[in-house]
Amino acid sequence: MTWADSLRTAWAGMWSSKLRALLTMLGVIIGVAAVITLVAIGNGASQAVASRIETLGTNVLFVTPGPGTPFTTRQVAYIRDNTPVARVVVPLLNSGGQLSVGTSTLSALVVGTTPGYQALGAIHLAAGRFLAPADLALNRDAVVLGANVSQALFGGGNPVGAHVSLLGQRFTVVGVLQPVGQGPGTSQDNSVFIPLPVAQFLLSTQKLSAVLVGASSPLAASQAQDLLTNLYTNRFGSASSVTVASEDQVLATLSATRATFTNLLAGTALISLVVGGIGIMNIMLVSVTERTREIGVRRAVGAVPEDVVLQFLLEAMVLSLTGGALGVGAGLVMVRLAPVFLKTPAVFTPSAVVLAFVFSTLVGLVFGLYPAVKASRLHPIDALRHSG
């Protein structure tokens, strides 16, 4: 018997009992669809992390004081003087705060900073302007709203010129930012920006949360990182008193965690594929028993044991590969639907399809082999005598 004949026989066998074939394949279908969907969701999350890196740029360093380290506005000038490769040096004072307009209130991340923040390249205005030098010089109570904050307090309307209450003070909205998108932690969308001196006054502190150092290239950022790390280690006598790290370094750790998570999801999905394979083996064993007489007839008219192995093995492969193909289809649909129903980004990768196909082929081979060999070992006489 040729391969083409065996394949035709296998296909005809599956087609003659469609419902049963479908139920048998269900495990593989679900497994493959799960692999594709979960890998896509995992990738979606990783890309969300990546897009967050983009919001501040990979060339930005975070200089963050450790607990107890005196770190005031003077550090801005200190860093600027000692880091010639720095393009921009921007102080940050972060705090949580309640915003209210009329009766609606909202907690947001309050960021006290300078107009230089805009030069880091992460600010995209939807309306109005960012903080201006005059706002700082005159200690104006001006505020720039993140997209979510604006949406929550003012709906779709343009809030520029409106007043909000923040940290017990009445602020005037001077600008609104465009949405950045999803990401871990509190993103820029949930932040509001006010002049640094105003923030320090209202919070009664001279300290800074961090200083951002923008370099013009990854190499310059790396040089600045080394320089600043040495500088602060010498100055405070400890490497942990001030941390100098780029945002992507911080987020790389986060990405690694995400990758582990994705692998875990894919692993779980692969287990369901194996379970699907066991389902195929089960049905193939039933099929061998049911078709004992057929095996006897085939042997009587000249089939050698290898013909019988090939026939049943190909039948298992046809089941698992058809299941795999249907699973890929189902997976693609789910990748489309995941962002709509689960509110998570899902990014389809062709390699997941390859992975799923390789595994469903393996599943068919591994779990089809035992029933096929069992079929080929049936004694033709017993097989012919078998009733049914």
Partner 1 sequence: MIRVERLVKDYPMAGGTVRALHDVSFEIPTGSLAAIMGQSGSGKTTLLNLLAGLDGPTSGRYWLNGRDVSGFGVVDWSRERNRTIGFVFQAFNLLPTLSALGNVELPLVYRRVPPRQRRERAQAVLEAMGLAHRAHHRPTELSGGQQQRVAIARALVGDPPLLLADEPTGNLDAETGDEILNLLAALNGQGRTIVIVTHSPEVAARCRMVLQMRDGRLLPTAGGVGA
Instruction: Choose between 140 and 298: whose C-beta lies nearer to partner 1.
Output: 298
Residue pair 265/39 in contact by the 8 Å Cβ criterion:
yes
Closest CA to 341 of 333, 353, 329, 352: 333
User: How far apart (Å, rounded) are the C-alpha atoms in residues 46 and 38?
Assistant: 12
Instruction: Choose between 296 and 371: whose C-beta lies nearer to partner 1.
Output: 296
Chain residues binding partner 1 by CB under 8 A are 1-2, 5, 12-13, 16, 293-294, 296-305, 307, 379-381, 384
Instruction: Choose between 247 and 307: whose C-beta lies nearer to partner 1.
Output: 307
Least separation in angstroms between CB 15 and partner 1:
9
Residue pair 363/28 in contact by the 8 Å Cβ criterion:
yes
Least separation in angstroms between CB 16 and partner 1:
5
* E strand residue ranges, the chain: 60-65, 86-101, 104-113, 125-128, 142-145, 163-166, 169-177, 191-195, 210-215, 242-246
Instruction: Choose between 113 and 292: whose C-beta lies nearer to partner 1.
Output: 292
Least separation in angstroms between CB 2 and partner 1:
6
Instruction: Choose between 7 and 85: whose C-beta lies nearer to partner 1.
Output: 7
Instruction: Choose between 304 and 333: whose C-beta lies nearer to partner 1.
Output: 304
Least separation in angstroms between CB 301 and partner 1:
4
Nearby residues of 176 by Cβ (< 8 Å), 6 or more positions away: 125, 126, 127, 128, 144, 145, 147, 150, 158, 159, 160
Least separation in angstroms between CB 281 and partner 1:
21
Classify 109 as helix, strand or coil.
Answer: strand
User: How far apart (Å, rounded) are the C-alpha atoms in residues 250 and 31?
Assistant: 34
Q: With the CA atoms of 358, 363, 365 and 368 taken in that order, what torsion angle do they form, in degrees rounded to the nearest 10?
A: -160
Least separation in angstroms between CB 292 and partner 1:
12
Q: With the CA atoms of 140, 141, 142 and 143 taken in that order, what torsion angle do they form, in degrees rounded to the nearest 10?
A: 150
